[in-house]
Structure 1
Amino acid sequence: MGNPAPFETGIEASHRGSKLVDFLYPLPARRSVGRIFAWWERRRLAYNAIICAGGSVSLAGIAAVSLLNGTGLAMADVAGVLQGVFVILVAANILYLLGPVTESLAHKLWGRDVRAIGPHLFRAGLIFSVGLTFLLPTILVGFHLVLLMLRGIPGLF
């Protein structure tokens, strides 16, 4: 059989990489619906931690721009932001559920003929989710910074 490729994810592959490689390129679950859901649930806490870390960086950027603007953060702003964070986390976890549902449906439809798609779906969903935590705040912060620069031009506003 030889040595597996560095990122091989087949059931026969033996992982000898770092913990990060093992997390991002794990062995797939054995092919039953219960095991597929268990495989995904073992990764949910780490998924949430990564999403929260990305969101924290975005919130820090928003706070920095608010301080640059001279407005600071009022308690009402913080409460609104925390409500938004809660809604985003709930939505992310509802969408996370699409991973095991999709993998289970593929398993039920095509049986053992389909290769395990869980690790690929997990990575794609994680990248998409982290991207969203950065995308919207980055657009808003960029727009706000452009407005700040335009206000500095005399006679424009």
Structure 2
Amino acid sequence: MQETSFDATTTATTATTTTATTTTTTTGTTTATTTTTTTTTTTTTTTTTTTTTTTTNNNNNDYYDDAYDDDDDGYDDGYYYYFYYYYLDYFYDYYYYYYYYYYYYYYYYYYYYYYYSYYYHYYYYYYYYYYYYYYYYYFYYYYYYYYCYYYYYYYYYYYFFYY
């Protein structure tokens, strides 16, 4: 047999906060000072509930109703059946949750994989674009360098021929 009792305790905590604001106004030679005081009171209520369950094994039919004692062991089998189905339902939900969790991360992983692959190829093409741009700039600089080089020798021979 089972008996369940509930014991509730309520605790109230009060906090008071006072804020003073001073405002000074000057008009010509007259100075006026105004002080505003604001008081805020906050009350917090906490309720604590204690549940006590007492199980009594009594085989005396005068005090123990054996209508739910199928195997005559003095225990209420309906109580254990309840917890059996409760935990069975709990583990079923637990299994279903992780099953869904697994597939969720499975699809999330593939989504992230294709997203990363797309980003990787985008970066790859961007890298080669920058690579060819760099070589274009390099040959441009190289051509400009030889252009100056030949221009220098042209000017040198022209100067030598002139003198």
Whether the TM-score (by the shorter chain) exceeds 0.5 is: no
Per chain length, whose mean CA-contact separation is higher, i.e. which structure has more relative contact order (CA < 8 Å, sep 6+)? 1
TM-score for both structures, normalised by structure 1: 0.25
Larger % of strand: which?
A: 2
Greater radius of gyration (CA): 2
